[in-house]
Amino acid sequence: MVDKVLELAAKRTNGAQAVFSTGESTPVSFENDKLKTIKVSQTSSISLRVVLDGKEGSSSTNDLGDLEDLVARAVESARYGSPAHSQFPPYQDAQSVRTHDPSVVSVTREEMVATGRRILDAIKSFNPELLVDVGVTKSENQVSFANSAGAAYQASGTHYSLGASVQRVRGEDVMYAWHYRSWRANALDPQAVIDAIITKLRLAERTAEIPSGYMPVLFTPDAAFVLATALTLGVSGKNVLKGDSPLAGKLGQKLFHESITLTDNGLIDFATGSSSYDGEGVPVRPTPIIQKGVLVAFLYDLDTAGEAGTQTTGNGPGCGPHNLIMEPGNTPYADLVKSMDSGLIVDSVMGFGQSNIMQGDFSVNVSLGYRVEKGEVVGRVKNVMLAGNSYEALKDVVLSSEAEWVGGDTYSPAILVPSLSVTAK
């Protein structure tokens, strides 16, 4: 199919890239303690990117029977498109990475229902008053890529995910807790989801008041994105080129605590962001971003790199990371908790999208958090806000020696910030 599209595009453009993808997804969901959804959805699409007279255009469709129209729309968009700053790359060898697990495909819907029911029943057995939602999803996809410069590859992938969320209502007190994990292999343990939820529930059994002021704040791996998202946006070559990133012009500078080492690595077997090639046919490779607190690289795709006068890092299109890996520290999580005389543990937040994320500023409501007194968790906090700046906070942190895969494409330790603003309403 991609060869046919390229053949049609060759008659009307100076160069082209085509991507054909198909996929099948099977989600099983339980809502409010009951089985709600078992379905299978299939998708197919083809996208085309062209260069015509020095300008780029693109088009995509789910109608695989009208490829002429796909090409015509891409050509028309190129007439008014942005200048092209790069050429389509020729074929290059790439490192192999495992992204497809046959045992994911062979999981039956009955087995998925049984897994979801096991998680649900275990959580309800711990506390029958909870309302529990559970999701179990498997998917498989195939991609065919080719461009007019001779680059071509085919890839297949699988995904498997488990997650649960709970709601507990006691009068006017409503508590939410969740745990979700995703991987490309059938290697997720339902018991780990159960244990994580029950641990959160035990810590939240009691409530505790917390004073307003500056205090130590410990972000669990699930909440570490509050600090890490600004970094992800800041190291995007696109944001650097536009001048939006506060990190622009600071390569080689020590901007963060020396314990922070951050790498984008899309060659980790079965991590959800892994692939041998990026979406532009460029081989994926590990890219160190921060080394011992020093900013050493930005992430680029072909076009942004061409405009910036540098080389792509294999992060196209869009300059986003594949898998972000933050190296853990040397202090056990339990010791980080014990080190806080009076502080806050943050497990989840609300309202993060309303912050000035690009500049690192955040002001969020703590959805699930715990008060720490004299090194012990004494209860769940309510009506608490947290504010600060990620870039400033990451200049002075302590990282836990344990780390977790969060969402399948982020590996993070817990992060202790010695002083952040906490406001109790």
pLDDT surpasses 90 at 52: yes
User: In which residue are the tokens 């649960």 written?
Assistant: 164
Question: What is the pLDDT at residue 136?
Answer: 98
Cα 178 to the center of its chain, rounded Å: 16
Question: What is the pLDDT at residue 353?
Answer: 80
- pLDDT, tens only, 130-156: 999 999 999 999 999 999 999 999 999
User: In which residue are the tokens 């096991």 written?
Assistant: 118
State the average pLDDT for the chain.
97
Average pLDDT over residues 37-47: 96
327 token code pair: 């190296």
- pLDDT, tens only, 207-218: 999 999 999 999
- pLDDT, tens only, 99-122: 999 999 999 999 999 999 999 999
274 token code pair: 């892994």
- pLDDT, tens only, 368-386: 999 999 999 999 999 999 9
Greatest CA span in the chain, whole angstroms? 73
Tell me, which fold does domain 2-202 have in CATH?
A: PmbA/TldD fold (3.30.2290)
Model confidence at 197, in pLDDT bands (50, 70, 90)?
A: very high
pLDDT surpasses 90 at 85: yes
Query: CA–CA distance from 284 to each of 159, 163, 210, 265 (Å)?
Result: 19, 29, 47, 8
pLDDT surpasses 90 at 425: no
pLDDT surpasses 90 at 236: yes
**Cis ω on the peptide bond leading into residue 102 (within 30° of 0)?**
no
The sign one gets for the Cα dihedral 303, 308, 312, 313 is negative
- pLDDT, tens only, 317-371: 999 999 999 999 999 999 999 999 999 999 999 998 877 899 999 999 999 999 9
User: Phi, psi at residue 184, to the nearest 5°?
Assistant: -85, -10
Average pLDDT over residues 312-317: 98
Question: What is the pLDDT at residue 355?
Answer: 79
Model confidence at 176, in pLDDT bands (50, 70, 90)?
A: very high
Question: What is the pLDDT at residue 256?
Answer: 98
Residue ranges matching CATH 3.30.2290.10 in the chain: 2-202
In the chain, the percentage of residues whose pLDDT exceeds 90 is 97
Model confidence at 280, in pLDDT bands (50, 70, 90)?
A: very high
Question: What is the pLDDT at residue 401?
Answer: 98
Helix (H, G, I), strand (E, B) or coil at 367: strand
Closest to 178 (Cα-Cα) out of 117, 123, 112: 123
Model confidence at 18, in pLDDT bands (50, 70, 90)?
A: very high
Question: What is the pLDDT at residue 328?
Answer: 98
Cβ atoms of 41 and 71 closer than 8 Å: no
Question: What is the pLDDT at residue 213?
Answer: 98
Query: CA–CA distance from 188 to each of 185, 421, 425 (Å)?
Result: 8, 36, 39
Model confidence at 290, in pLDDT bands (50, 70, 90)?
A: very high
Q: How far apart are alpha carbons 411 and 404 in whole angstroms?
A: 5
Average pLDDT over residues 25-41: 96
HSE at residue 398, side-chain half, CA atoms within 13 A, is 16
Question: What is the pLDDT at residue 37?
Answer: 92
Helix (H, G, I), strand (E, B) or coil at 129: coil
